[in-house]
Amino acid sequence: MSLLWPKALTAAVVTAASLCLSGVAHASSPSVQMEVCNNQNSGSRQFELTGLNQDGVRVSSPIYSVQWRSCRLFANWWWKTGQTLEVRVRGTSLSETDYFGIPQDARDGSSMRWWVN
């Protein structure tokens, strides 16, 4: 009887941990995550994304730094498909804003990549 208790506890811990793993957003509409890539030859840049989230609410992400010639996934930030996402770029002499169109037919739960030159 005492050998069953550790096995039951282990099973409960594994089940609880699997429920906490990230996966496809539970959303009212199809949504994607964005990966932003800094295509500059040197230096890091900072990015902030603004648009409609998976629930149709206009939100802004935290400001994330991306090193030159690398990418960063804005993990756990879900953006509604079929909209234009505002991408604010910092880290140059001037801040700039660019726009990224998320296709309506983008696969729900996928990631899309956007390169900044």
Q: Could you give all domains of the chain from N- to C-terminal order, each with its CATH number?
A: 25-116 (2.60.40)
Contact between 115 and 72 (Cβ < 8 Å): no
pLDDT reported for residue 40: 84
pLDDT reported for residue 116: 83
pLDDT reported for residue 117: 76
Query: Which one, of 102, 104, 86, lies nearest residue 112 by Cα?
Result: 102
pLDDT reported for residue 12: 43
pLDDT reported for residue 18: 38
pLDDT reported for residue 41: 83
pLDDT reported for residue 61: 96
pLDDT by residue for the chain (117 residues), tens digit each?
454 444 444 444 334 433 333 344 455 689 999 999 998 888 889 999 999 999 999 999 999 999 999 999 999 999 999 999 999 988 666 678 889 999 999 999 999 999 987
Q: Is 44 exposed, middle or buried (0-12, 13-18, 19+ CB in 10 A)?
A: middle
Extended beta strands in the chain, E state:
31-38, 45-52, 58-60, 64-66, 70-73, 79-80, 83-90, 96-102, 111-116
User: How many angstroms separate the CA atoms of 110 and 5, rounded?
Assistant: 40
